[in-house]
Structure 1
Amino acid sequence: MDLTYLLDHLSEPTLLVLGGLLVGMMFGIFAQQSRFCLRAAALEFSRMQSADRLPIWLLAFSSALLATQVLGAGGHIDIHETRQLASPQSLSGALLGGVMFGTGMVMARGCASRLLVLSATGNLRALLSGLVFAVVAQASLYGALKPARDWLSGLWTTVEVGGNDLTRHLGLGPAGVYLFGGMWLVAGLVLTWRNRSSLWRTIAAVGAGLAVPAALLFTTTMSRQAFDPVSVEGVTFTGPSADTLMLFLSTPADGFDFASGLVPGVFLGSFVAAFLTRQLALQGFESGPSMARYLSGAALMGFGGMLAGGCAVGAGITGASLFAATAWVTLIGIWLSATASDRLIAKLQNGVEPTAHSSI
């Protein structure tokens, strides 16, 4: 990818924001159309239900992983220059944060990306929950919750285990990586066929996953061609959501970057997709107790996502595609805690299980 022409006519921050906006729109459109949701996928799996949320997630996950690794092997993506692999990461934060995020995800009935996508369609529950998520994430990054996050993060780091590259720990070569990704892609396709999912939703699931390598490819190219340093990053929502919130309060001290356009892009893409398919609808909270549950879950996700260094997409898709050990710890923690939390909530509700397919 050659961005010389664009760099000659646009400033580097402007081009970074535009890149984030376009990648965000790509993710927002396809995530809205495919109804991509880790929470619904995890609950379908734990309840052994035969539906389409699990295959949708598998297709997005495997598409992101395979495309990222292929582009990395071809030298188009600097995988080892990403934050997840270029610097020490917290294993304790990944484990504890993943558990907190998974629990919060079930309570809020949607992960950070799902809340953002739904808020653009008129879901006021998702919008308010997303704002709480962003506020708590910001407090965890720079505010009152930062000391607690720093202490928990320092309990166990990747320095103590010899790095964060899972392929090196497992001795996986390119063939093993492609086989692993291909296995999940085939599983997703088989489940999609068995559940008779529509072709468009299948394509949209793959499209949502491909937004991750698209982000990595763009930021890698910018890091090579721009004059100022540019971080190589994929699609994630914890940090960018907190940063986007602060954009409404003050001009960023570090200037605008790729993440500055990502969250607005997802919102815009989801809105456009919902508008064109007539899925816009205002929705609110049903009761006071349900509101308390949603907002408590959003707060757990905000702290947990920042502690883990990524959300269901940032760690579960982007980080896992890079084979970052902490990302896999986070992803496993999210799945296990989501399953346990769902069963606990069902018992507290006198055995009435909430449906895995509720939008939020």
Structure 2
Amino acid sequence: MDIVEIIESIGEGPTAALFGLITGIVFGVAAQRSNFCLRAATVEFARGRMGSKVAVWLLTFSTAVVWVQGAQMLGLFRGVDSRIMSVPGSWSGAIIGGLMFGAGMVLSRGCSGRLLVLASTGNLRSVVSGLIFAVTAQMSLKGILAPYRDTLAGLWVTPGGENVSLLTMLRLPEWFGLAFGVAVAVLALVLARKNRIGPKVLIFASGVGFSVAVGWVLTWSLAQVAFEPVPVTSATFSGPSANTLMFFLDRNAVLEFDVGLVPGVVIGAFLSSLLAREFAWQAFDSVPVMRRSMIGAVLMGFGAMLAGGCAIGAGVTGGSVFAATAWLALFCMWIGAMTTDYLLDQRNLSPAAAC
């Protein structure tokens, strides 16, 4: 059964939601089994280590780049048609939002995608932080925080009414994207061998990146045959978290890719944790920890909507199509996370623990 037959059978909206569900399940399983987390990678790097967390993140990122750039070369996807490239990008939003998101994910002990995965495995701390993240993201998208987001995002935007390709801006050939992804993958594998990471973790880490390519290809393919305009998008958890929340609160909400993505991650991570016997109920250790996590969730919710995506949406999904503002946001997330870790956490560690 091809895409046209699926559309004729269930409709365009449900088809988009189905594709989101598929993408989410792949992401949920792979992220849960690999322990993929940008927050963990930035903290590890900030403390002078190129350990397993950095290796997993680099492998995920490089896999996404290789699969997405390869799909473009095969004609299965066009990055210029993606939602992130077809709308104006915000340099100021990427900088300010990226710094806020980076600080927030250290405070919450996980980025928005990681919180969703952990919540699916019984972590009640992540449930609370994830709900606060989703509410703040919705407030920043269409609520009382939206004017502030618009003001900050409008300070410095890309010219021409659309985003900028980093490859085009640097006058690099199209094949450079694929070559760059392969080079980073080699570095990741070298680090993985140095840190004695097993093949299962490597496979699942690359699976997270593969899920990004799956989302891009499925939504692009749907957009080619759908009667109504379909956003070409992939894995991200700022807008989808807000949209999924409103889907269950608004009786007039419609099915779309975002609405299928979040439940897909929950299903995938939940089943994966059960099969691995890693599902366990967990709660906050203390009031200060809970307060810190809640503040971090607010910073991530507003920061993600300002930056144009979360650690996954901008950092991996946007980065895989070389959206310039996504790369800037990712860089600022690293800076914000490392700075926050240094100011709040490293100073409380003993010299031996900080190494």
Mark yes or no: TM-score above 0.5: yes
Structure 1 residue 347 displacement after superposition? 5.3
Number of the residue aligned with 1:335: 334
Number of the residue aligned with 1:286: 285
Encode CA deviations 1:205-226: one digit per residue, 9 max, x unaligned. 0011100110000001100112
- Is the aligned partner of 1:316 residue 2:326? no
What is the SS of the residue equivalent to 2:94? helix
Number of the residue aligned with 2:212: 212
- For 1:135-214, list aligned pairs within 5 A: 135-159=135-159, 163-214=163-214
C-alpha distance in 2 between matches for 1:271 and 1:355: 33
Encode CA deviations 1:121-152: one digit per residue, 9 max, x unaligned. 00000010000000100000111101110100
Contact 2:88 2:160 (8 Å CA) reproduced: no
Structure 1 residue 248 displacement after superposition? 2.1
What is the SS of the residue equivalent to 1:234? coil
Q: Which runs of 5+ in 2 are unaligned?
A: none
Number of the residue aligned with 2:56: 56
What is the SS of the residue equivalent to 2:114? helix
Residues 1:348 and 1:265: Cα distance change in structure 2 (over 3 Å): same
- Is the aligned partner of 1:23 residue 2:33? no
Encode CA deviations 1:245-272: one digit per residue, 9 max, x unaligned. 112211344x211111000100110000
Encode CA deviations 1:170-204: one digit per residue, 9 max, x unaligned. 01112322221111100111111111111111000
- Is the aligned partner of 1:237 residue 2:244? no
C-alpha distance in 2 between matches for 1:141 and 1:204: 32
C-alpha distance in 2 between matches for 1:355 and 1:232: 43
C-alpha distance in 1 between matches for 2:95 and 2:160: 15
The aligned amino acid for 2:280 is A
Number of the residue aligned with 1:300: 299
- Is the aligned partner of 1:14 residue 2:37? no
Structure 1 residue 22 displacement after superposition? 1.1
Structure 1 residue 161 displacement after superposition? 11
C-alpha distance in 2 between matches for 1:77 and 1:12: 19
The aligned amino acid for 2:215 is A
Q: CA RMSD in A?
A: 1.9
Encode CA deviations 1:284-323: one digit per residue, 9 max, x unaligned. 0111111000000000000000000100000000101110
TM-score (norm: length of structure 2): 0.96
Q: Which runs of 4+ in 1 moved over 6 A?
A: 352-356
C-alpha distance in 2 between matches for 1:171 and 1:12: 38
Residues 1:265 and 1:355: Cα distance change in structure 2 (over 3 Å): farther
C-alpha distance in 2 between matches for 1:124 and 1:12: 35
Encode CA deviations 1:318-348: one digit per residue, 9 max, x unaligned. 1011100100010000001111100001256
Q: Which runs of 5+ in 1 are unaligned?
A: none
Number of the residue aligned with 2:132: 132
Contact 1:346 1:354 (8 Å CA) reproduced: no
Structure 1 residue 52 displacement after superposition? 1.0
Number of the residue aligned with 2:259: 260
C-alpha distance in 2 between matches for 1:141 and 1:135: 10
What is the SS of the residue equivalent to 1:260? helix
C-alpha distance in 2 between matches for 1:355 and 1:13: 50
C-alpha distance in 2 between matches for 1:232 and 1:355: 43
Residues 1:116 and 1:355: Cα distance change in structure 2 (over 3 Å): farther
C-alpha distance in 2 between matches for 1:32 and 1:203: 12
Structure 1 residue 160 displacement after superposition? 7.6
Contact 1:2 1:221 (8 Å CA) reproduced: no
The aligned amino acid for 2:246 is M
Number of the residue aligned with 2:226: 226
The aligned amino acid for 2:268 is G
Contact 2:58 2:188 (8 Å CA) reproduced: yes
Structure 1 residue 92 displacement after superposition? 0.3
Structure 1 residue 99 displacement after superposition? 0.2
Structure 1 residue 84 displacement after superposition? 1.6
C-alpha distance in 2 between matches for 1:204 and 1:81: 28
TM-score (norm: length of structure 1): 0.95
Residues 1:21 and 1:182: Cα distance change in structure 2 (over 3 Å): same
Contact 2:47 2:354 (8 Å CA) reproduced: no
The aligned amino acid for 2:221 is T
